[in-house]
Amino acid sequence: MSATVLVVEDEPMIGRILEHKLSREGHRVLWARSAEEADALAREEAVDVALVDVTLERDGVALAAAWEGGTAPACGWLAMVEARHPEEAERACAAGARGAVVKPFKPTAVAAQVRGLLAGEERV
């Protein structure tokens, strides 16, 4: 299933890895490198799934939670959290995330989580 995936990530290497893997899976990938860029893309584009780094220059959880008013991704969003901060995953899920990607991650596992969201799985 092809979808538009918004990757909100300020680390170039992580962004490139996700962009490459998700594009190879057949998705259209939009990559925002800042919260401001993510806000603009969420308003301009029909996004199906978002992957949001919680440690942006602005709180990534607050950014994604604010989308709920009308620019929210159709199938939901996943928080990207550091393994050393597991409490961030809980905070993100409480704010509406459908699951969490723990860094470091395997790109195939992230692609599987995106597929799960697109398939309508409750939590991925």
Encode pLDDT of 23-64 as tens digits: 999 999 999 999 999 999 999 999 999 999 998 877 899 999
CATH number, position 68: 3.40.50.2300
Strand-pairing partners, residue 25, are none
Number of domains in the chain: 1
Within-domain flag for 26: yes
Classify residue 119 by burial, with Cβ atoms within 10 Å: 0-12, 13-18, 19+.
exposed
Q: Which of 114, 119, 106, 120 is nearest to 25 (CA)?
A: 114
CA distance 78 to 89: 9
Inter-residue contact 101 to 56 (CB < 8 Å): no
124 within a domain of the structure (yes/no)? no
pLDDT in tens, 104-113: 999 999 999 9
Which pTM does this prediction carry?
0.94
